[in-house]
Amino acid sequence: MRGKLFGTDGVRGRANSYPMTAEIALKLGAAAGRYFRTDGQNRHRVVIGKDTRLSGYMLENALTAGLTSTGMNVLLLGPVPTPAVGFLTRSMRADLGIMISASHNPHQDNGIKFFGPDGFKLSDEAQDEIERILAGEIEPVQPQNIGRAKRIDDARGRYVEYAKTTFPVLGGLSGLKVVVDCANGAAYRAAPEVLWELGAEVVPVGVSPDGFNINQECGSTYTQTAAEAVVQHGADMGICLDGDADRVMIIDENGQVADGDQIMALMASRWATNGTLKGSTLVATVMSNLGLERYLQGQGLTLHRTAVGDRYVVEAMRANGWNLGGEQSGHIVMTDYATTGDGLIAGLQFLAAMVDTGKPASALTQSFETVPQKLTNVRYAVGQEPLSADSVKAAIAAGEEKLKANGRLLIRKSGTEPLIRVMGECEDQALLDMVIGDIVTAVEQVV
């Protein structure tokens, strides 16, 4: 086996290339099965969900083969959102939940995410142990102990009914027209169903998956399509999900986009007002805008920052008893309702604010003025270490010195793609552009 399998959000890569091959998926399933089936009994169960990528069939079958070979019983959920897997893992008393998805990535990528019996993503320690087991010889069970696999026909329906219970305002969504962009992904049926059953007039976008068009010119990373639909149909707002529906962007009635920072600001303020924001604290990552931090301070609230990745947000929330967190990219984690980011339920919380206050979306999507922020990604070849180059280190040091009194820099490797992410914030846009440009040039010269 080559290198470390698990990144910041499970195992991810290009389909049919290491590590996203049927062979590795089979071994990974067997290793996970061996990790969770420790008593030799055949009552252990695994739920497996997936998004709409063509490669999902291959990985689903390979994982099932590996899991059943070690005696685990597999329950196949079909296409469901990532948060539905977290919910159903706990609801169906499974020992393990698996989601097959590369989230917002294009169709040629795929990934495997693991959830423990409590519905939360596995810890680093558990993932490391699964990797250790995978690296050795995994002994299969005796023929009489091979696991079974079956399809669960009502998995989506279970999640739909649960999601509806999280909408906190009596009267539902009657009278509201909502665009929902499902990114041709995992929520292509669940999200429109929830909104319609709550009473909204629904304009669905990105609900015709073909195995290849997931996240293609739609969804939370390409909000133009939904924004155009909101304006064209005269909708009250739009909900933009990503391929596995654990992210959301909100579109106001004018087609303007609100990112995760603005959504979290609204929710934190409302929850603090009604006394449900635990510890008066919002958890976000180092990527969240400085304007969010200043806004929360003005509200008498605290912003606790973590490393990038919703797993780290959740870890901080659970360790300290906080119940609201997320990422600028649109992961909104509400542990009162879900064990991971849930774009649909976050969208329902925003709609609840509209119904409760009677205000249009545009009055709720700009809680704070953002500090100018710029993010540029530089792709590098696998095996390269551009951040170790002296020229790049020098450029970063020079940039930090220039922004010292006026902003901040964050340069890091992506945990899901071979990208160097160069991000900075500064009140002076021209200075920010110059600093980011210098660092990006230094990285590009190395790669």
Query: Which among 166, 156, 251, 237 has a CA at the least distance from the CA of 201?
Result: 237
- Quote the CA–CA distance of 173 and 424 in Å, as a whole number: 39
Question: Tokens at residue 427, please?
Answer: 């009140």
- Quote the CA–CA distance of 242 and 245 in Å, as a whole number: 5
Query: Which among 340, 330, 333, 305 has a CA at the least distance from the CA of 410?
Result: 305
123 is catalytic: no
Adjacency order of strands within the sheet including 177-181: 201-205, 177-181, 237-241, 248-251, 257-258
- Quote the CA–CA distance of 94 and 86 in Å, as a whole number: 10
CB 169: neighbour CB atoms within 10 A? 14
The helix (H) or strand (E) run that includes residue 343 is: helix 343-357
Classify strands 45-50 and 73-79 as parallel, antiparallel or unpaired.
parallel
- CA dihedral sign of residues 188, 317, 327, 266: positive
Q: How far is C-alpha 188 from the chain's CA centre? A: 16
Question: Tokens at residue 211, please?
Answer: 């195995």
Q: Where are the beta strands (DSSP E) in 355-445?
A: 373-379, 407-413, 419-426
- Quote the CA–CA distance of 92 and 141 in Å, as a whole number: 24
> C-alpha distances in angstroms, 342 versus 31, 348, 354?
28, 10, 19
Which residue is catalytic, options 55, 69, 103, 329?
103
Is the Cβ–Cβ distance between 446 and 390 less than 8 Å? no
> Looking at the annotation, which residues are catalytic?
103
